[in-house]
Amino acid sequence: MIFTSFNFLIFFPGVILVYYLLPEKYRPGFLLLASYYFYINITPVYALLLAGITVSTYAFTILIDKTKAEKKRKLFLIINIIITLLPLFFFKYYNFVNNGVFNLLQSAGIRWPLPEISFFLPIGISFYTFMALGYSIDVYNEEIKAEKNFGVVALFLSFFPILLSGPIERATNMFPQFKGRLVFSYKKAVRGLQLMLWGYFMKLVVANRIAILVSNIFDNADLKSGGSLFMAVLLYPVQVYGDLGGYSLIAIGSANVMGIDIIPNFKRPFFATSMSEFWRRWHISLISWLTDYIYTPLSFQLRKYKIWGIVIALMLTFLISGIWHGAALTFIFWGVLQGTFLSIEAITNKKKKSFVKKHNLDKKKWYIFISCFFTYLLFAFSEIFCGPINSMHKAFFVIRKIFTNFGGPLYYYNPSMIIFILFGISLLFFVEWRMEYYKGAFSFLSNKSWVVRTLLYALLIIIILLIGVFDGGQFIYFQF
Amino acid sequence: MINNLKKKVLKNLLLKLFVLSITLVLLDFIIGSLLDIFYFRQESGVLYRTTYAIEKTKEDLLIFGSSTAIHNYDPTIFEKGLKMSAYNVGNDGRSVFYHYAVLQAVLKRYKPKIIIYDFEIREFSKDQESYDRISSLLPYYKKNPEIRPIIELKSPYEKYKLLSNIYPYNSLIFTIGIGNTEFNKKRRGDINGFVPLPNIWNHPIDTITFVNRELDSNKIKIFESFVKDCANAKIELFVVCSPILIEPDYTSNSEMMGEKIAKKYNVNFMNYSKDSLFINNPKLFADIGHLNVEGAKIFSNIVKENIARVSKSLTKTGNQ
């Protein structure tokens, strides 16, 4: 069951109705049942995997918490990390590593093939694995006490709004909510519904529409002009934003309706003026997870190398981020690219800051615009390696064609396509621009007048009905 | 006191949701009705061709198929050669689901004498797009009950989604608008449904590879129904595989299945996908899968002559 399916439109109101009709003490239990039903509805057998990781995380965190000896605590943590990562490795990286080792051995004249596996990647595995790891490390670091109520841990790892594509939540935020009072809040419910509505707009009107054009161009890259490929490269980040950003808003919104707060995942990323700022606004829950559990400990360990310690930590963190996205050379290269961008910024940061301050550039609109555009361009080009193009050869072919064969007809599918894309992007950017630069003045869905609000809700739903793409299929991040 | 407050808040929320629902229903009804009026008012363009195929065809010979049908078969050649009226009801990117729905709508009104079914090399390949594209039939759901089972193949919830008046016209607002203009009549000229492609293929052809995909049992079943319904209505059916530019290095599993079904119902199956006249002859193609105007002329003449040669109905009526 995915958020854009008709089933979800029946499932969600049904869950909300039963949830609030039930006495408060039964609500967490009901949410756990609903979450497992939600997951079983996609691939029943993989619910066992989720349950297995839950049992292991629960047991080992209790053991870590109870144990005094540091060596033993560390051993329990390492065992749990291995158990938690094993399914992810098996489903996501086995074939990649197997092929790599096979090719390496073959080049040394040794032929030792292991069988390939052809299972579907369990949806959400990368997300709940990171949540489980984060919780175990938090218990080990004594940031949080191990939870004794198994139901709370199980609900944390399976909570249906965030189960499939995040945001990657933290136990420190979720446990107190699940253990506290789950009561109806008018403000939260309304805000949640607003976020869901905007999320559906982002996914159905923006992302799914762009996806048709972009995949059509990339799938036939050899027949399309460099100009068309450049257009697809520029559009793809907006597609991903509409997709994962939209998903995140629906997730956060649906949790809000149940009175639960979820951490934000995006903060108007295309208004970032540098790559480091961009990564503070894009897929925030993943980046903050990587920062807390990889980058910070690494840069602390490497502090004696000063700026070069930071560079190494950045490179390694984004390498892991690339590998997290997928088992392919393209994703690894993407991670290296991001690490390189951020390292260059880290090295030149002081000089850049003083230059900007000296010329008062950060107040100048043209400078902000150029910085935003340049940041967007860097990210868009790096996404060639993290998007629908799944081979290094094809990715470089696309880049080469953009620079050497830009001319030729611009492929736009049909006139409706380009009009709908422009409309969707314009509305999205207009709303975000208002939120970014006119804080407090954003009254799109929060207008003081109830009549205006009602009309705007209705209008947005009508727009989705009129130009949304309902057959757009899965969310991009289900594959990660 | 707290309970009263809670009840008041909940009542307030429910009231607002009720007002929003009423607003939505009203807007959906008004906008949907307007779209319906303007959709069926079109007299040209891609959407009109579907309306014509479903509601207005009266020709003796009909050509079914997807883009290969539209661009490869010139009905005027069949009209002149076979002395009967002909129309190309092909539609870009459509599958056997669409073709069968059109056949059902046609059979409800009259029985054509001859049907040519353009059979694609990947006719029965399993792909989600074929189901998604059933949406082009949504505007006809209410008026044409005979096509409803096909539409419901898209999803079991389709009948509920169609409670919305806007939903059948999803993504069509701009096309409907253009379709109601005089400009559109000039822009999308077709000759009895045939859309000639003027360009000549001038790209390298050695980079394309074909792969056999898994077959879709729904598509096979529907195709068999198509053949059976033609046989029951005593319509002479010709299943024709169009030429392609590059000879595939494998035998298409769809073609094998299609031929088997055609044989079962004693239907003519003409395969030009490996015809030496067309293979590796880019001068006759606009792209790898579609003939250009010159190629279509040659191909239509070949098909017409073969039909004239083997047709039982033509021999009986002396139409030749």
Q: Is the pLDDT of residue B243 over 50?
A: yes
What band does A479 get if pLDDT is binned at 50, 70 and 90? low
* Residue at a domain's end among A139, A154, A183: A183
- CA proximity to B154, closest of B95, B215, B105, B90: B95
Q: Is the pLDDT of residue B206 over 70?
A: no
Do A102 and A234 fall within a single domain? no
Tell me the nearest-neighbour CA distance from A45 into chain B, angstroms: 24
What residues of chain A lie within 8 A of the CB of B30, using their CB?
Answer: none
CB distance A471–B128 less than 8 Å? yes
SS3 category, A126: helix
Do A157 and A199 fall within a single domain? no
| Joined tokens for residue B223 | 């195709």
Do A157 and A195 fall within a single domain? no
| Beta pairing partners, B131 | none
Edge-first strand listing for the sheet containing B61-64: B86-88, B61-64, B114-119, B236-241, B268-271
Say what the pLDDT of residue B7 is: 76
What residues of chain A lie within 8 A of the CB of B160, using their CB?
Answer: 6
Contact A425, A433 (CB under 8 A): no
> Residues A256-306: pLDDT tens digits?
999 999 999 999 999 999 999 999 999 999 999 999 999 999 999 998 888
Query: Mean pLDDT across the stretch A159-183?
Result: 93
Handedness of CA A93, A94, A99, A100 (dihedral sign): positive
Query: Mean pLDDT across the stretch A99-128?
Result: 76
Say if A474 falls within a structural domain.
no
Q: Give the chain B residue nearest A20 (alpha carbons).
A: B10
Taking the model in full, what pTM does it have? 0.88
| Beta pairing partners, B270 | B240
The full set of domain ranges for chain B reads: 1-41, 43-317
**Under CATH, domain B43-317 is a member of which superfamily?**
SGNH hydrolase (3.40.50.1110)
CB distance B174–A416 less than 8 Å? yes
Say what the pLDDT of residue A280 is: 95
Site from B9, B21, B23, B135 to mutate, A interface, most A CB atoms within 10 angstroms: B23
A415 to chain B, any CB pair closer than 8 A? The answer is yes
Say if A480 falls within a structural domain.
no
Query: Mean pLDDT across the stretch B125-132?
Result: 89
Higher pLDDT, A447 or A452: A452
Tell me the nearest-neighbour CA distance from A119 into chain B, angstroms: 17
Contact B46, A416 (CB under 8 A): no
What residues of chain A lie within 8 A of the CB of B128, using their CB?
Answer: 471, 473
Kindly report the number of other CB atoms within 10 A of residue A49's CB atom. Answer: 19
| Joined tokens for residue B125 | 């390949």
CB distance B171–A450 less than 8 Å? no
- CA proximity to A205, closest of A254, A245, A161: A245
Do A147 and A114 fall within a single domain? yes
A86 to chain B, any CB pair closer than 8 A? The answer is no
Q: Is the pLDDT of residue B320 over 50?
A: no
Percent of chain B with pLDDT over 70: 92
CB distance B157–A6 less than 8 Å? yes
| Beta pairing partners, B63 | B88, B116
SS3 category, A19: helix
Q: DSSP class of residue B159?
A: H
* Full domain range(s) for residue A285: 188-467
Q: Is the pLDDT of residue A381 over 90?
A: yes
Q: CA B66, CA B83: separation in Å to the nearest integer? A: 25
Say what the pLDDT of residue A113 is: 66
Percent of chain A with pLDDT over 70: 95
Q: Give the chain A residue nearest B14 (alpha carbons).
A: A186
Do A177 and A202 fall within a single domain? no
| Beta pairing partners, B61 | B86, B114
Higher pLDDT, B185 or A402: A402
* Residue at a domain's end among A125, A158, A183: A183
Q: Is the pLDDT of residue B207 over 60?
A: no
Q: CA B64, CA B51: separation in Å to the nearest integer? A: 14
Q: CA B74, CA B45: separation in Å to the nearest integer? A: 17
> Residues B267-303: pLDDT tens digits?
999 999 888 899 888 899 998 889 999 999 999 999 9
Q: CA A348, CA A341: separation in Å to the nearest integer? A: 11
Say what the pLDDT of residue B187 is: 65
Q: β-pairing, B285-287 with B290-291?
A: antiparallel
* Residue at a domain's end among A119, A153, A183: A183
CB distance B173–A466 less than 8 Å? yes
Say what the pLDDT of residue B11 is: 83
A359 a catalytic residue: no
Say if A326 falls within a structural domain.
yes
Q: What total number of domains does chain A contain? A: 2
Q: CA B192, CA B53: separation in Å to the nearest integer? A: 11
Catalytic entry in A283, A325, A359, A393: A325
Do A232 and A323 fall within a single domain? yes
Q: CA B261, CA A62: separation in Å to the nearest integer? A: 64
Say if A479 falls within a structural domain.
no
Q: Helix A171-179 and helix A125-140: axis angle, to 10°?
A: 90
Tell me the nearest-neighbour CA distance from A467 into chain B, angstroms: 5
- CA proximity to B65, closest of B110, B26, B100: B100
Do A170 and A228 fall within a single domain? no
> Residues B21-63: pLDDT tens digits?
999 999 999 999 999 999 999 888 888 999 999 999 999 999 9
Say if A428 falls within a structural domain.
yes
> Residues A26-74: pLDDT tens digits?
999 999 999 999 999 887 888 999 999 999 999 999 999 999 999 999 9
Q: CA A201, CA A463: separation in Å to the nearest integer? A: 8
Say if A237 falls within a structural domain.
yes
Tell me the nearest-neighbour CA distance from A228 into chain B, angstroms: 17
Do A91 and A216 fall within a single domain? no
Query: Mean pLDDT across the stretch A120-145?
Result: 93
Backbone angles phi, psi at A124, to 5 degrees: 85, -5
| Joined tokens for residue B76 | 């005027």
A467 to chain B, any CB pair closer than 8 A? The answer is yes
Do A256 and A395 fall within a single domain? yes
Tell me the nearest-neighbour CA distance from B98 into chain A, angstroms: 17
A186 to chain B, any CB pair closer than 8 A? The answer is yes
Say what the pLDDT of residue B274 is: 85
> Residues A212-263: pLDDT tens digits?
999 989 988 887 889 999 999 999 999 999 999 999 999 999 999 999 999 9
Say what the pLDDT of residue B70 is: 94
CB distance B161–A468 less than 8 Å? no
Minimal Cβ distance to B166: which of A6, A466, A471: A466
Do A124 and A245 fall within a single domain? no
What band does B314 get if pLDDT is binned at 50, 70 and 90? low
DSSP secondary structure string for all residues of A217-252 = HHHTGGGS-HHHHHHHHHHHHHHHIIIIIHHHHHHH
Say what the pLDDT of residue A441 is: 52
Do A51 and A156 fall within a single domain? yes
Do A251 and A134 fall within a single domain? no
Q: CA A202, CA A388: separation in Å to the nearest integer? A: 19
Say if A473 falls within a structural domain.
no
| Side-chain-facing half-sphere of A107: CA atoms under 13 Å | 5
Minimal Cβ distance to A473: which of B128, B167, B203: B128
User: Residues near B120 by Cβ (< 8 Å), separated by ≥ 6?
Assistant: B65, B66, B68, B241, B242, B254
